Chains A and B, each alone.
Chain A
Amino acid sequence: MALLEVAEIHSFYGKSHVLEGVSLEIGEGELITLLGRNGAGKTTTLRSISGIVRPKSGAIRFEGKDMIGREIYEIARAGIALVPEHRGIFGLLSVEENLRIAVRDGWWKLSDVYDLFPRLYERRRNGGNALSGGEQQMLAIARALLNNPKLLLLDEPTEGLAPVIVDEIVKVLIDIKRTGMSVLLVEQNLAVCEKLADRHYVLEQGRIAYAGSAAEFAADHSVRDRYLALNG
């Protein structure tokens, strides 16, 4: 049984029909990327899984349990953590407070995320609003880990970051994958995706247009040209 099963979900913003029947699956310990052009519905898919957007039809099952209609915090407690595109750092809280409010029982402890991101330890007393973009992204990922989820949803974690920082984030994602945590990664940077993913999905106008393993995707250049050329 898949850890997460999304079946034919339709989601709307007001009257605009953003997801027109998205289906995907993520197994235990898998790292999956969700690719697609801007506006294809990648962020909306993540927001639907997290409960921020409530799909009008379809099903989302996590560990076999139905998730649609549950509150955002209930879905988080069930074991799904979202790192949103805007990162959601609390500027009025210190770095350490940002981390502490997320702590829930499990494998990841405060000291573990400080080991993973030594820079956050150095800056633990700084306000969240005093961090650089890269540090904010590290903090957002570290905070999600302290929630000890079974599934981590990442929305464009490398967007707008310097290449050195991107490499650092990639290393961290590899470490996270090694712990056996499942990850659904939305990412525009194909090089990053190919380094990390077990499988890829491509979204096109609110539908899954392609699904394939990392090897299949690497071999099939026509997929890139068809669905991703603009931001390749």
Chain B
Amino acid sequence: MLNLYLFQILNGLGLGMIYFLISVGLTIIFGLLNFVNFAHGAFFMLGCYLCYSLLAATGQFWLALFVGPLAVAALAWGAEKILIRRVYHLPHTFHILITVGVALILQEGAIIIWGPIGKSIPMPDVLQGVVIMGKFAYPKYRLFLILFSAVIGFLLWLLLERTRFGALVRAGSESTEMVSLLGADIYKLFSLTFALGVGLAGLAGVLSGPIRGAHPFMGPEVLGIAFVVVVIGGMGSFGGALVGGLLIGLVQSLMTTIWPEGASLMIYGAMAAVILLRPYGLFGRA
């Protein structure tokens, strides 16, 4: 019985790290650009499908893990240049309208390319099987998922906290005008940040592929969870996305053991509790 809980806690950590990667992208984009990206879940879905196709075509998981997120980021970069940047100055409702449009295009595009029925994605050969620790056995892939996401999270933290690019992103979340006055090309910073944030959703999609498969309608559900995480953690906060993601992952995973029907309910219950106690989220600022 104890092993079952340990199993679910590890599952929850893995799921939580996926949620973290999705949400941290959403929150960085919101923090710097003050832009609400409702296409975030659809880009995650695209990551799942790219994982499927790249694995099917080459059989190389590492290649999929590298190329998939980059392809999603490149697409986001193009979409930002052509479309997204034209609506930054408009109110949030316009952001929502245009990104819901982008999400629908991606969703319908996925149906045209991959069909309306989902695809299951095979475990990569190298990560098949289980790791045995005493009496306890745990799937290799899920362990890899936790460790790999933690490394990515650490690298992202270094990027945001220890580089000039990261300092500009944080400064820009306070005042884009002042960043421009210091001679930084704010448009380039916006494009790169949008591509980075969406690329992280793509990476989360690729990583979750072998566990949950790919489905054209998975975007809205993922988007909903990402917003819950961001609201719990606090808009624009890296630490908030991490803690919020892990919290939701653990709640969801443990609830499937304790009370499966209530898993979704508890996620939104957790969000409501946090909002009541701390309206700006755990790490949010007013």
Q: Could you list which residues of chain A lie within 8 angstroms of chain B, going by C-beta atoms?
A: 50, 52, 71-73, 76-77, 81-82, 84, 88, 90-93, 97-98, 100-102, 104, 143, 147
| Cross-chain contact B184 with A90 (CB below 8 angstroms) | no
- Chain B residue numbers with a CB within 8 Å of A90 are 170-171, 174-175, 178
- Chain A residue numbers with a CB within 8 Å of B221 are none
A150 CB → nearest B CB, Å: 13
Identify the closest chain B residue to A77 (Cβ). B183
Chain B residues numbered 164-191 whose CB sits less than 8 Å from any CB in chain A: 164, 167-168, 170-171, 173-175, 177-187
| Cross-chain contact B168 with A50 (CB below 8 angstroms) | no
Please report the C-alpha to C-alpha distance between residue A100 and residue B165 in the assembled complex, in whole angstroms: 11
- Chain A residue numbers with a CB within 8 Å of B171 are 90, 92-93, 97-98, 101
Please report the C-alpha to C-alpha distance between residue A107 and residue B192 in the assembled complex, in whole angstroms: 30
A19 CB → nearest B CB, Å: 19
Please report the C-alpha to C-alpha distance between residue A77 and residue B177 in the assembled complex, in whole angstroms: 14
Identify the closest chain B residue to A140 (Cβ). B178
- Chain B residue numbers with a CB within 8 Å of A76 are 180-183
| Cross-chain contact A101 with B181 (CB below 8 angstroms) | no
Identify the closest chain A residue to B168 (Cβ). A101
- Chain A residue numbers with a CB within 8 Å of B170 are 90, 92-93
A93-B167, A93-B170, A101-B168 in contact; A88/B186 too (CB < 8 A)?
no
Give the dominant DSSP class at B's interface: helix
Question: Could you list 7 A-B pairs, sorted by A, with CB under 8 Å?
Answer: A72-B177, A72-B181, A76-B183, A92-B170, A100-B164, A101-B168, A101-B179
A88-B175, A90-B174, A91-B174 in contact; A101/B180 too (CB < 8 A)?
no
A100 CB → nearest B CB, Å: 7
| Cross-chain contact B185 with A73 (CB below 8 angstroms) | yes
Please report the C-alpha to C-alpha distance between residue A73 and residue B168 in the assembled complex, in whole angstroms: 13
| Cross-chain contact A50 with B174 (CB below 8 angstroms) | no
A13 CB → nearest B CB, Å: 15
B240 CB → nearest A CB, Å: 14
A127 CB → nearest B CB, Å: 11
Please report the C-alpha to C-alpha distance between residue A90 and residue B178 in the assembled complex, in whole angstroms: 9
Identify the closest chain A residue to B170 (Cβ). A92
A189 CB → nearest B CB, Å: 24
Please report the C-alpha to C-alpha distance between residue A88 and residue B177 in the assembled complex, in whole angstroms: 9
| Cross-chain contact B182 with A102 (CB below 8 angstroms) | yes
| Cross-chain contact A101 with B182 (CB below 8 angstroms) | yes
| Cross-chain contact B182 with A143 (CB below 8 angstroms) | yes
- Chain A residue numbers with a CB within 8 Å of B182 are 73, 76, 81, 101-102, 143, 147
B191 CB → nearest A CB, Å: 14
Please report the C-alpha to C-alpha distance between residue A100 and residue B162 in the assembled complex, in whole angstroms: 11
| Cross-chain contact B177 with A104 (CB below 8 angstroms) | no
B24 CB → nearest A CB, Å: 16
Identify the closest chain A residue to B31 (Cβ). A92
Please report the C-alpha to C-alpha distance between residue A51 and residue B150 in the assembled complex, in whole angstroms: 43
Identify the closest chain B residue to A103 (Cβ). B164
- Chain A residue numbers with a CB within 8 Å of B175 are 88, 90
